């Protein structure tokens, strides 16, 4: 007899239940086996397994990490760093150096200001204890050599003398003061220092007013001598210039002014700022060379005489004296 459909469904359900029970039993058996295996594993094996797992994970992470390039040293897009620093780090370090160097600059300015308060605008803080001035000549040359028949040979010397004497023009000197001859012009307490007159015309034949070539065209050149400025110098005695030729026979010379004196009224000098229009006294010496003196080098030494100022120091050949050579060709 054939069974009804209801009975068949019951049988199928019972079969499925039995199969599920069997599968459940097998899973339980598998779990029991795994637990037994775990119990049988030694601690050393567990440690090795853990290390292997860590190594595998590290290798996987290393593969996943992108490779670094030299561009990352300039700008790293992952960390947002520029030249190894973030924006906040750069801001802090720049702020530190701004404050640090600003402090140093302020300290420097403060110390300079304090030092400048100790200085006098008119007188140097430290001066040489030996106040002996030197002598200088114009034209500005230790060797003066020229051909008197060729103006291009001596034009540079003549121009040098004209440039020097521009400040001594009578029109300019008339604005200065007439001072007491032979007396120091002391004005320590005067805010505005007066300047004594020294007119160009006092040099007469060597003034360039009567002979614009200063005697170079005739082969009888004029040499102008002046003393270096020294603040506060008051030479004693009656200082004057004396020139001699280093040769057997004397060389004829003419001085302008005729006494070759450096008058005391031009002393003392109060400095470039306080004595802005000051002019040094000049002495001109004209070498009256004869025909026999032409084409021969003449060595001339000029000294400051008649005063306490030194002119014989072997270590300084320009202290109180000056030596120059002149050669005139026909």
Q: pTM for the whole thing?
A: 0.67
Lowest mean per-residue pLDDT among 75-89, 90-104, 179-193: 75-89
Residues 176-197 pLDDT 10s:
999 999 999 999 888 888 999 9
Considering only CA atoms, which of 245, 297, 238, 284 is closest in space to residue 265?
238
Average pLDDT (109-136) is: 83
| More confident of the two residues 126 and 8 | 126
E strand map for the chain? 75-76, 81-82, 135-138, 143-147, 222-227, 240-245, 253-256, 282-287, 298-305, 321-329
Q: What is the number of helices (H) and of strands (E) in the chain?
A: 6, 10
Residues 244-257 pLDDT 10s:
999 888 899 999 99
Q: How confident is the model at residue 1 (pLDDT cuts 50, 70, 90)?
A: very low
Lowest mean per-residue pLDDT among 73-82, 92-101, 210-219, 313-322: 73-82
Provide the β-strand partners of residue 256: 284
| pLDDT computed for residue 30 by the predictor | 61
Cα separation, 296 vs 81, whole angstroms: 83
Structure tokens at 287: 């070498």
Most confidently modeled range among 30-39, 186-195, 293-302: 293-302
298 within 8 A of 325, measured Cβ to Cβ:
yes
Please provide the average confidence, as pLDDT, over all residues in the chain: 84
Q: How confident is the model at residue 76 (pLDDT cuts 50, 70, 90)?
A: confident
Average pLDDT (27-38) is: 59
| pLDDT computed for residue 66 by the predictor | 53
Res 268 pLDDT > 80: yes
Number of neighbouring beta carbons within 10 Å of residue 153? 15
Cα separation, 143 vs 300, whole angstroms: 10
Q: How confident is the model at residue 17 (pLDDT cuts 50, 70, 90)?
A: confident
Cα 18 to Cα 11, 24, 124, 126, 225, distances in angstroms: 11, 10, 123, 122, 141
| pLDDT computed for residue 202 by the predictor | 93
């Amino acid at each position: 007899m054939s069974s009804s459909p209801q009975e068949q469904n019951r049988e199928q359900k019972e079969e499925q239940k039995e199969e599920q029970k069997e599968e459940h039993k097998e899973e339980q058996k598998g779990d029991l086996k795994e637990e037994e295996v775990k119990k049988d594993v030694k601690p050393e094996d567990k440690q090795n397994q853990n290390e292997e797992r860590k190594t595998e994970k590290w290798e996987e992470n290393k593969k996943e990490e992108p490779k670094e390039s030299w561009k990352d040293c300039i700008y790293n897009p992952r960390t947002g760093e520029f030249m190894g620093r973030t924006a906040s780090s750069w801001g802090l370090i720049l702020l530190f150096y701004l404050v640090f160097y600003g402090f140093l600059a302020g300290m420097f300015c403060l110390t300079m200001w304090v030092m400048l308060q100790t200085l006098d605008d008119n007188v140097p803080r430290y001066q040489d204890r030996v106040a002996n001035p030197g002598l200088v000549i114009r034209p500005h040359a230790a060797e003066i050599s020229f051909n008197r028949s060729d103006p291009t040979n001596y034009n540079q010397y003549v121009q040098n003398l004209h440039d020097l004497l521009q400040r001594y023009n009578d029109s300019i000197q008339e604005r200065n003061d007439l001072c007491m001859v032979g007396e120091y012009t002391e004005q320590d307490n005067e805010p505005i220092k007066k300047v004594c007159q020294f007119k160009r015309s006092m040099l007469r034949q060597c003034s360039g007013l009567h002979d614009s070539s200063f005697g170079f065209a005739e082969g009888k050149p004029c040499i102008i001598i002046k003393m270096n400025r020294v603040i506060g110098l008051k030479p004693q005695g009656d200082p004057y210039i004396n020139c001699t030729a280093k040769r057997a026979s004397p060389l004829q010379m003419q001085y302008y002014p005729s006494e070759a004196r450096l008058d005391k009224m031009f002393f003392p000098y109060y400095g470039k700022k306080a004595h802005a229009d000051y002019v040094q006294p000049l002495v001109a010496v004209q070498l009256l060379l004869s025909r026999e003196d032409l084409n021969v080098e003449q060595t001339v030494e000029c000294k400051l005489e008649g005063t306490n100022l030194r002119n014989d120091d072997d270590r300084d050949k320009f202290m109180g004296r000056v030596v120059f050579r002149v050669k005139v060709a026909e």
